[in-house]
Amino acid sequence: MDELRNRAILLNSRPNGYPSQSNFKIIESDIPEINPGEFIVKILWLSVDPYMRGRMSDKKSYAPSVGIGDVMVGAGVGKIISSRNNEFEVGTIVEGRFGWQEYAISNGTNARKISISEKDSSQALGVLGMPGLTAYFGLFNLGKPKPNDTVVISAASGAVGSVVGQLAKLTGCKVVGIVGSDIKASYITKELNFDNAINYKEQNVNQELQNICPSGIDIYFDNVGGETLETVLENLAFRARIIVCGQISQYNLYDDEIAHGITNFRNILTNQVTVEGFIVSRFSADFPQAFEYLENLFSEGKLKAKEDIITNLENVPTALLRVLTGENFGKQIVKISENN
Amino acid sequence: MDELRNRAILLNSRPNGYPSQSNFKIIESDIPEINPGEFIVKILWLSVDPYMRGRMSDKKSYAPSVGIGDVMVGAGVGKIISSRNNEFEVGTIVEGRFGWQEYAISNGTNARKISISEKDSSQALGVLGMPGLTAYFGLFNLGKPKPNDTVVISAASGAVGSVVGQLAKLTGCKVVGIVGSDIKASYITKELNFDNAINYKEQNVNQELQNICPSGIDIYFDNVGGETLETVLENLAFRARIIVCGQISQYNLYDDEIAHGITNFRNILTNQVTVEGFIVSRFSADFPQAFEYLENLFSEGKLKAKEDIITNLENVPTALLRVLTGENFGKQIVKISENN
């Protein structure tokens, strides 16, 4: 394989506030010979997700930080081009935590074969991957939705939020999405069948929630935290459930900046609310059933997914910034090369 | 009964900040003739609890506010002195929501006969009443304690906190109490067998929690909210449970004062924490078993209770202020007259 060169993006420094290009460094290297049990994946698609901001920080979190000089972590989908592992043959499409690079060597531990066609294989990073599973387990296992429950979702047109809303609609819930543009608002109501959308940049979220949810919110699927969370806490139904999946509004603070303070925590008491933070890996034992459920819905056309695709490895940092600022529209994917 | 006159305390105005005497008015009236099914209770003991501050406010809460001019709500224990109800005979000791007054008329709906001796009957307002039940259901149903779990309790020498800690010790947990004086600290460690105490007025709570709970806090039983809650959120174990029982630090805000903002809500996500607010009435179907459990422990001397008793109806407002400022030491009770 010595004709092949790999390019990878390393973490070069830790960001203060939003990340910038200078926090990353691109390097080129030979791809080493593989050992027995290993295989080489040519990466086709990289996933770009909000949690990556957390990995760039050295603050304590649920997963270790990326070290300075290490390849940035992340999931990708690729094709096996060389293999010394009988379980993973050349030509197989796999999804795994391959990092921000063009080629990855794996022993199969963190890779899964996917049954989706190569053309649609990027979906294994979105609706048919971790974001889809996150939506599924957060909504069903923690939210415990019933028909007619009012479900509010922030970052509602995103990779997770859009699936949460569609699954809640299929359960018979009333679904309200909070988004950051009129185009996204129109997308979730017209294409995804949400009942209502609120554009938090243009509308008074509190007023809209009061109007749209007169009996209060039964389930809040929180991807953003901060002010939106505080506003939702003013509009909860008795025994509401809050699923804390992301807090993206608080991910890009400057070192001397304090996170938004939630001043109405007391409503958790008065409304007897359950708030639960979760990381999808907790439910790994049940991933197979969830994948099957989501794949069936998707193949029947009952679960729609929008992708926002940028091309070229060097654009992954730009794609991350898009996700963190909400500029992306749909699941952010980087297509590694034009001629995938 | 026309020789008997009743005295009652009415809500006279709504407080701004801490309540004061001027928010209350004492009135005297005749006790009316009772109807069939009713009985008259001579109140012996009144319970004084933090939630009463919420009833004085007209902000939305889980229970309706007391109206201006209405008798203040609250639980009491008394003796039936006249009865037209066959289920409740003269001489019976009952506990019920009788309000801040010397005599109450009841039809039995909100009264329960208690089996404790008249001498100990005030315990039906504390360890063997709502505070005890609140501790029991909060700890067991929401906290789900296991042996060796680290349990932290705020307002730990109070009516609820002291029971939570003793039940957690009986479960085999490591128990840490946060209190507001050295005397209370000494009480919970020496008399109640808590493993550690922190005096939040004298010690650095964050530093102490780091030292005492190096593997993090598994269960936080929150009676106070505010800064203490925020500090605890910095010291949680993976998959911790936070039981939101009270937020007393936030009950006495001035009208133009904003509650303490919780800036580290994100830790709920990263530690996959469950936060649950509850009101004990949710568990009413299971009250009989809980009463039996607590009464047995109490009679075996395995559950201790400290009372802080003030005498005379006119001192109920003072007693409430004591509870709201943490001046009380043990369950706050008002003995209605010297010659009870």
pLDDT tens-digit readout, B16-65: 999 999 999 999 999 999 999 999 999 999 999 999 999 999 987 778 89
Q: How far is A14 from chain B (nearest CA, A)?
A: 19
pLDDT tens-digit readout, A262-284: 999 999 999 999 999 999 999 99
Please tell me which residue of chain A has the smallest CA distance to B241: A276
Q: Do A259 and B245 touch (CB under 8 A)?
A: no
Chain B residues in contact with A247 by the CB 8 A cut-off are 265-266, 269
Indicate yes or no: pTM above 0.90. Answer: yes
Q: What is the pLDDT of residue B110?
A: 87
pLDDT tens-digit readout, B285-297: 999 999 999 999 9
Task: Provide the CB-side half-sphere exposure for A100 (13 A, CA).
Answer: 29
Please tell me which residue of chain A has the smallest CA distance to B251: A266
Q: C-alpha distances in angstroms, B156 versus A270, B4, B176, B214?
A: 21, 41, 8, 20
Q: How far is A177 from chain B (nearest CA, A)?
A: 21
Task: Provide the CB-side half-sphere exposure for A304 (13 A, CA).
Answer: 14
Out of A54, A266, A274, closest to residue B250 by CB: A266
Q: Report CA torsion sign: A154, A158, A163, A169.
A: positive
pLDDT tier at B339, thresholds 50, 70, 90: low
Out of B54, B238, B269, closest to residue A244 by CB: B269
Query: Three-class SS of residue B177?
Result: strand
Query: Per-residue pLDDT averaged across A82-100, rounded?
Result: 97
Q: What is the pLDDT of residue A340?
A: 59
Asked if the model's pLDDT at residue A130 lies above 60, the reply is: yes
Query: Per-residue pLDDT averaged across A314-325, rounded?
Result: 96
Query: Three-class SS of residue B31?
Result: coil
Q: What is the pLDDT of residue A297?
A: 97
pLDDT tier at B332, thresholds 50, 70, 90: very high
Q: What is the pLDDT of residue A110?
A: 87
**B-proximal residues of A, 139-178, CB under 8 Å:** none
Interface-testing mutation among A256, A265, A268, A276, with chain B (most B C-beta atoms within 10 A): A265
Whether B244 contacts chain A with CB within 8 A: yes
ipTM: 0.91
Query: Per-residue pLDDT averaged across B87-105, rounded?
Result: 97
More confidently predicted of A339 and B277: B277
Q: Do A274 and B276 touch (CB under 8 A)?
A: yes
Instruction: Say how far apart CA B267 and CA B277 lie, in whole Å.
Output: 17
pLDDT tier at B235, thresholds 50, 70, 90: very high
- Relative to beta strand B24-30, strand B5-11 is antiparallel
**A-proximal residues of B, 222-241, CB under 8 Å:** 225, 229, 238
Query: Per-residue pLDDT averaged across B90-119, rounded?
Result: 95
pLDDT tens-digit readout, A177-200: 999 999 999 999 999 999 999 999
Note the Cα B304 to chain centre separation in Å: 15
Q: What is the pLDDT of residue A339?
A: 65
Query: Per-residue pLDDT averaged across A91-103, rounded?
Result: 97
3-state secondary structure chain A: CCCCEEEEEEECCCCCCCCCHHHEEEEEEECCCCCCCCEEEEEEEEECCCHHHHHCCCCCCCCCCCCCCCECCCCEEEEEEEECCCCCCCCCEEEECCCCECEEEECCCCEEECCCCHHHHHHHHCCCCHHHHHHHHHHHHHHCCCCCCEEEEECCCCCCHHHHHHHHHHCCCEEEEEECCHHHHHHHHHHCCCCEEEECCCCCHHHHHHHHCCCCEEEEEECCCHHHHHHHHCCEEEEEEEEECCCHHHCCCCCCCCCCCECCCHHHHHCCCEEEECCHHHHHHHHHHHHHHHHHHHHCCCCCCCEEEEECHHHHHHHHHHHHHCCCCCEEEEECCCCC
Q: Range with the lowest mean pLDDT among A44-48, B2-6, B239-243?
A: B2-6
pLDDT tens-digit readout, B244-286: 999 999 988 888 888 999 999 999 999 999 999 999 999 999 9
pLDDT tier at A236, thresholds 50, 70, 90: very high
Whether B61 contacts chain A with CB within 8 A: yes
Please tell me which residue of chain B has the smallest CA distance to A259: B263
pLDDT tens-digit readout, A144-173: 999 999 999 999 999 999 999 999 999 999
**B-proximal residues of A, 18-47, CB under 8 Å:** none
Query: Per-residue pLDDT averaged across A51-70, rounded?
Result: 91
Q: What is the pLDDT of residue B39?
A: 98
Chain A residues in contact with B244 by the CB 8 A cut-off are 265, 268-269
Chain A residues in contact with B61 by the CB 8 A cut-off are 270
Q: Range with the lowest mean pLDDT among A48-62, A180-194, B90-104, B268-282?
A: A48-62
Q: Do B244 and A60 touch (CB under 8 A)?
A: no
Q: Which fold has domain A130-281?
A: Rossmann fold (3.40.50)
Query: Per-residue pLDDT averaged across B208-213, rounded?
Result: 98
Residues 6 or more apart from A12 whose CB is under 8 A from it?
A: A22, A23, A24, A25, A68, A69
Share of chain B above pLDDT 70, in %: 99
Out of A247, A262, A268, closest to residue B269 by CB: A247
Share of chain A above pLDDT 90, in %: 91
pLDDT tens-digit readout, B292-313: 999 999 999 999 999 999 999 9
Instruction: Say how far apart CA B38 and CA B1 lie, in whole Å.
Output: 14
Instruction: Say how far apart CA B224 and CA B200 lie, in whole Å.
Output: 12
pLDDT tens-digit readout, A239-250: 999 999 999 999
Q: What is the pLDDT of residue B60?
A: 78
Give the amino acid at A199: N
More confidently predicted of A330 and A337: A330
Give the amino acid at A276: E
Q: Do A272 and B62 touch (CB under 8 A)?
A: yes
Architecture, CATH, for domain B5-126+307-335: Alpha-Beta Complex (3.90)
Query: Per-residue pLDDT averaged across A32-40, rounded?
Result: 96
Strand order in the sheet with B217-222: A196-199, A174-179, A150-154, A217-222, A236-244, A274-277, B274-277, B236-244, B217-222, B150-154, B174-179, B196-199
**Number of neighbouring beta carbons within 10 Å of residue B175:** 29
Domain residue spans in chain B? 5-126+307-335, 130-281
Task: Report chain A's mean pLDDT, rounded to a whole number.
Answer: 95
Whether B108 contacts chain A with CB within 8 A: no
Whether B247 contacts chain A with CB within 8 A: yes
Asked if the model's pLDDT at residue A76 lies above 50, the reply is: yes
More confidently predicted of B210 and A252: B210
pLDDT tier at A1, thresholds 50, 70, 90: very low
Query: Per-residue pLDDT averaged across A72-100, rounded?
Result: 97
pLDDT tier at B1, thresholds 50, 70, 90: very low
DSSP B101: B
Asked if the model's pLDDT at residue A304 lies above 80, the reply is: yes
**B-proximal residues of A, 252-311, CB under 8 Å:** 258-266, 268-279, 282
Whether A244 contacts chain B with CB within 8 A: yes
Chain A residues in contact with B272 by the CB 8 A cut-off are 62, 276-279, 282
Chain A residues in contact with B54 by the CB 8 A cut-off are 270
Query: Per-residue pLDDT averaged across A189-214, rounded?
Result: 98
Interface-testing mutation among A266, A267, A281, with chain B (most B C-beta atoms within 10 A): A266
pLDDT tens-digit readout, B123-162: 999 999 999 999 999 999 999 999 999 999 999 999 999 9
Q: How far is A196 from chain B (nearest CA, A)?
A: 26
Q: Which fold has domain A5-125+306-335?
A: Quinone Oxidoreductase; Chain A, domain 1 (3.90.180)
Q: How far is B63 from chain A (nearest CA, A)?
A: 9
Q: Do A62 and B271 touch (CB under 8 A)?
A: yes
Please return the burial class of A85, using the count of CB atoms within 10 Å of its CB with bins 0-12, 13-18 and 19+.
middle
Q: Do B275 and A268 touch (CB under 8 A)?
A: yes
Instruction: Say how far apart CA A275 and CA A280 lie, in whole Å.
Output: 16
Paired with B96 in beta bridges are: B76, B111
Asked if the model's pLDDT at residue A254 lies above 90, the reply is: no
